[in-house]
Amino acid sequence: MDKENIIKKTKDFVQEHHQHDYSGHDWSHIMRVTYIAKSISYHEGGNPFVVEIAALMHDVPDEKLGSSEAEGLEKVDHFLKKNGVEDRIIRDIHHILSTMSFKGGNREPMNTLEGEIVQDADRLDAIGAIGIARAFAYSGAKGQPIYDPNLSPRDHMTYEEYRYGKSTAINHFYEKLLKLKDGMNTKYGKKLAEERHQFMVKYLEQFFAEQGM
Ligand code: ADP
Ligand code: NI
């Protein structure tokens, strides 16, 4: 099968996988990440096919969408194999997806250019105006408050604390979103992150000004 057709089939597969998500991992997140990843790749290089498939598939192994990470990875490998993607490319994509998630910051660093690009694109979609919207959508979906002055932001969390501990949408900016800018991998990604970061800083200033504190 030619590459264009594989990409089209991958889009159908991923759209179906994400259809019941309301926690910020919906199909529009995947489309934005894929678009940003392609534009970073345009500036920074990398194999465009690997970048696009990895961006489209990047949240399939996320356990928040149902199955475990291992089952999700297996599903991706199986789908790509069935559609005639070379083993070498499947291995590259598998490596990217298994290294990708932030998980409270405790993962090994990404070590391929394509992986760095997709990771930057995912991080860019977590900051700026869209990142703000997603943090509140996620909090609403999980029953977390918008803000609670008695709950301080946490540092150095274990994965369990990050995922299941008690927090607020506003704390999430301090626990994760404001840190993302400094972890960007690519030059072009850094440039895009800077602008989105400044927008969040301004947003938080306004938020606290309206709290009267
Ligand atoms: P990762 O798995 O890469 O750490 P997530 O999948 O948890 O990231 O994040 C998906 C989206 O949901 C992001 O935009 C993120 O900011 C938001 N999010 C994740 N955890 C929280 C949280 N505890 N409070 C508010 N938003 C969150
Ligand atoms: Ni994502």
Residue 84 and residue 132: Cα distance in Å, rounded? 39
- Nearest-CA neighbor of 38 among 124, 99, 105, 128? 124
Residue 18's pLDDT is what?
A: 86
Q: Is any atom of ligand 1 closer than 6 Å to the C-beta of 101?
A: yes
Distance in Å, CA 210 to ligand 1 centroid: 25
Residue 20's pLDDT is what?
A: 81
Half-sphere exposure of 133 (CA within 13 A, CB side): 12
Residue 172's pLDDT is what?
A: 95
CATH code at position 51: 1.10.3210.50
What range defines the domain where residue 16 resides?
Answer: 3-211
Residue 104's pLDDT is what?
A: 46
State the DSSP H helix or E strand holding residue 43, giving kind and residue range, or none if neither.
helix 27-44
- From first to last of its 213 residues, what are the pLDDT tens digits of the chain? 799 999 999 999 999 988 887 777 889 999 999 999 999 999 999 999 999 999 999 999 987 767 788 899 999 999 999 999 999 999 999 999 999 865 545 567 888 999 999 999 999 999 999 999 999 999 998 899 999 999 888 877 777 777 777 789 999 999 999 999 999 999 999 999 999 999 999 999 999 999 976
This prediction's pTM: 0.91
Residue 192's pLDDT is what?
A: 97
Q: Is any atom of ligand 1 closer than 6 Å to the C-beta of 119?
A: no
Q: At 99, list the tokens.
A: 């290294």
**In whole angstroms, how far apart are CA 134 and each of 23, 102, 169, 210?**
7, 16, 10, 21
Q: Total structural domains in the chain?
A: 1
Q: At 26, list the tokens.
A: 């919906």
Q: Is any atom of ligand 1 closer than 6 Å to the C-beta of 134?
A: yes
Ligand nearest to the CA of 34: 2
Distance in Å, CA 167 to ligand 1 centroid: 12
Q: Is any atom of ligand 1 closer than 6 Å to the C-beta of 173?
A: no
